[in-house]
Amino acid sequence: MTVTLAGLATVVPPTVLVQDEVRDVFAAQPGLTRLAQRIVSTSFGVSGIETRHTVLEELTRSARDPGDPALFFDAESGELLLPGTKARNDLYAEHAGRLYVEAGRAALDRAVGLAADDVTHVVTVSCTGFYAPGPDFVLARDLGLRAGVQRYHLGFMGCYASMPALRLAAQLCEADPDAVVLVVSVELCTLHLRTSNDPDTIVATSLFADGAGAAIVTARPAAAGERVLELDRFATRTTPQGEGDMAWKIGDHGFEMVLSNAVPGLIGEHITGALAPLLAEEADLADALAAQTAGDAITHWAVHPGGRSILDKVEAALALSASQLAPARRILRDFGNMSSATVLFVLRDILDAPETSNGDRIAAMAFGPGLTVESALMTVRG
């Protein structure tokens, strides 16, 4: 049975953050030590990011009405404020639902021959907020899905979560050939940014952004001329080290990210072993990986751009060309790290590129707490 991913769509909120301007705001915060100021300057400067998107219009100096109370940013003083977790999560509930619906509708519009009434299952993904009835309910209600649509939510898994969501969707389709699964990831990471002297927090602040990605997974035949991705297989591996180097916890003033500077090195050290089970069933790909020439065997690499140093380590460890990581670097440059949604942006960039051809192989991968490496092998059709 062939299961495909179709209708791949991405959405971002309209407010744009310019990286250099955000750097200057964070570097000027009262209470920062000289060391923290240097880390802010370095982290933002080497991030590989030029722009990011946020649901917080308030973070731009001219967006807030003078009569409205400041919650995150006092534009007059230039000071970043410290709202509590409830205030941040309330904003998540306010903004996330709209993005879930917008992304889900865009995926349905891009999937040829499929409509809302065809959707049998919904899988939603997020690690940046919670509410109930949740986003799966909102999607079913606002998109007018059938009354009996089955709904699942994968929460608080981190940056790799869209990969197990796609794997779950593929398994549902393998169990039921008529299934049509709508997968939507929404992450509002900027709701949890804050000023700090802690190096891990500063690094996270320099990287994370807001965005949404969605797709349709189904075993139904693709329409003539429609470009889709065959979902060939998935693999998951945890590295033997690094459990404490990437974490996501709930604090009194939002969710707290631990992202140590050891993460890129750990990924570079273990990425080959993490990919081995994904490619083991195809001798040519497995041999290429063992010979450190995986870049010659797979055309495209949809790597989650957790940061520029992570991409550098993956490129070196797998002997990839600069062009093979160009999609990931473009997404990082223009959108930042949108946690679980980001790999869907990279896949869409690859799928829509004019140089992508029928039969091209794509290796997709994302990294998260554990350290966990989730990967998938896909084939372009159409």
Strand intervals (E) in the chain? 4-11, 15-18, 51-54, 73-74, 79-80, 121-126, 150-155, 180-188, 210-218, 228-238, 246-251, 254-259, 300-303, 361-368, 372-381
Find all residues with CB under 8 Å of 218, minimum gap 6, and list them: 3, 4, 6, 114, 173, 179, 180, 181
Among residues 324, 366, 365, 331, the alpha carbon closest in space to that of 348 is found at 331
Out of 127, 159, 173, 189, the active site residue is 159
The strand pairing partners of 238, in sequence order, are: 372
Residues 6+ apart with CB under 8 A from 68: none
CB-based contact 9:106 (threshold 8 Å): yes
- Look up 159 and say whether it is catalytic: yes
Q: Under 8 Å CB-to-CB from 224, ≥6 apart: which residues?
A: none
Give me the torsion for CA of 161, 167, 169, 172, rounded to 10°.
-140
Between CA 179 and CA 173, with CA 222 as vertex, the angle to 5 degrees is: 20
- Residues involved in catalysis: 159
